[in-house]
Structure 1
Amino acid sequence: MRCLVKGFTLIEMVIGILVISITMVYFTTMLNNSTKFVADPWHQIRAAELGSALLNEIISKSFDENSDRSGGAIRCSSVDTGAVNCTTPANLGADTNEDSRDDYDDVDDYHNLNSTGNDIIELSLPNNNNLANNYAQYQLSVSVFYDANLDGVNDNAIGTHKLIQITVTDPAGNQNAFSAYRSNY
């Protein structure tokens, strides 16, 4: 009579456990690496919202400190109106009486604006903690300069167009750039 024994040997068990262990390590490593890409779309959406909102805020302001704020009848540096010169490139930025974004009244006041965390949303919704938490690790910087020939390069001279460039850095360190021109009209 023959006795049939069914089962695994000790060597087969050890090899099976080893194969399962290697497979598990491979899959957990793959899952761990993929989780950092799951958050990227969320960061990109928030950066786009933030950049777009700030760009709209800036563009809604007048072209220059010396421009007419009641309809654009007087343009700075305009020969036909005899208006005063526009702000020189060296003097772009917030004016002496403008201490916060709430006081900014022309596009170049935003030049060299750098904000992080709560400073980003403080002006628009000061008591919204949920929004503050969403943007707590974001950074933004703004650059404004004259670019009369629309080539994206600083002209270092008074011109008819100002290029507004915004860079939003998300918590993962990705930089998102936004830009627009504001014309002297």
Structure 2
Amino acid sequence: MNGIRGFTIIEIVIGIVVLAIALVGLSATLFPQASRSVDPVYQVRATELGQSLLIEMISLSFDQANNQAGGNNRCSASPPRVCTDPANLGPDSGESREDYNDVDDFNGFSTSGDLLTGATISELYKNFIVSVAVCYASSINGSCVNSITDYKKVTTVVTTPNELEITFSAYRGNL
């Protein structure tokens, strides 16, 4: 008899077990990679967001006491033109985000909704968190100090939805 012979039940079960083991191994290597594949996208978006906000901040006046229209009037560490006290950096009383007119108004700024224009972050930046700190710095590459100097250090931290924190820093001079 030359008939066609099929698979036995034991051969089918062994084939299923081998296939299951192969699929477990494959899923153990591919599925973690799929979740990490979004990291570069979040990093690019965080960079765009952080740089945009940082550029907006350092383009503002050094201090409230500076002449907002230009000219020679600027704050200084010695009277009569005194800069904002290091303990009082932040928005002026009653000031909303749209009224920020100098670098230190952003001190303590944190948001996950309102951002550059006061509008809601688009779906592109959903679940991103931004926080800003401003302080006086001893030099252009210096650390924060508790006295009035000619430099303010602006630090922006963007937290991505997968909780990766990306930090951006810039200095604004009063020279």
Name the CA shift for 1:105/1:57 in 2 (closer, same or farther; >3 Å): same
When the two chains are superposed, the root-mean-square deviation of aligned CA atoms in Å is 2.2
Tell me the amino acid that sits aligned with residue 13 of structure 1.
I
- Distance in 1 separating the partners of 2:2 and 2:68: 102
Unaligned runs of 5+ in 2: none
What is the aligned partner in structure 1 of residue 89 from structure 2? 92
Tell me the amino acid that sits aligned with residue 115 of structure 2.
I
Segments of 4+ in structure 1 off by > 6 A?
2-5
Structure 1 residue 122: Cα displacement: 5.0
What is the aligned partner in structure 1 of residue 114 from structure 2? 119
Q: Which moved more, 1:85-94 or 1:2-11?
A: 2-11
Unaligned runs of 5+ in 1: none
- Distance in 2 separating the partners of 1:177 and 1:49: 12
Name the CA shift for 1:75/1:122 in 2 (closer, same or farther; >3 Å): closer
Structure 1 residue 152: Cα displacement: 4.2
What is the aligned partner in structure 1 of residue 67 from structure 2? 68
Q: TM-score, normalised by structure 1?
A: 0.84
Tell me the amino acid that sits aligned with residue 90 of structure 1.
A
- Distance in 2 separating the partners of 1:83 and 1:133: 48
Length, aligned pairs only: 175
Secondary structure of the residue aligned to 2:91 is coil
Note if contact 1:147-1:161 (Cα within 8 Å) is conserved in structure 2: yes
What is the aligned partner in structure 2 of residue 157 from structure 1? 147
What is the aligned partner in structure 1 of residue 10 from structure 2? 11
Aligned residues with identical type, % of pairs: 40
Equivalent position to 1:139, from 129, 138, 143: 129
Tell me the amino acid that sits aligned with residue 119 of structure 1.
D
Structure 1 residue 29: Cα displacement: 3.2
Structure 1 residue 106: Cα displacement: 0.5
Q: TM-score, normalised by structure 2?
A: 0.89
Tell me the amino acid that sits aligned with residue 73 of structure 2.
I
- Distance in 2 separating the partners of 1:164 and 1:151: 12
Write out per-residue CA displacement over residues 92-144 of structure 1, whole angstroms, 9 at most, x where no aligned residue: 0001131x22100100000000101x312552xx3xx7x52222201000000
Secondary structure of the residue aligned to 1:146 is strand
Tell me the amino acid that sits aligned with residue 38 of structure 2.
A
- Distance in 1 separating the partners of 2:116 and 2:24: 43
Note if contact 1:75-1:83 (Cα within 8 Å) is conserved in structure 2: no
Note if contact 1:160-1:184 (Cα within 8 Å) is conserved in structure 2: yes
- Distance in 1 separating the partners of 2:109 and 2:97: 9
What is the aligned partner in structure 1 of residue 165 from structure 2? 175
Q: Which moved more, 1:152-161 or 1:22-31?
A: 22-31
What is the aligned partner in structure 2 of residue 108 from structure 1? 104
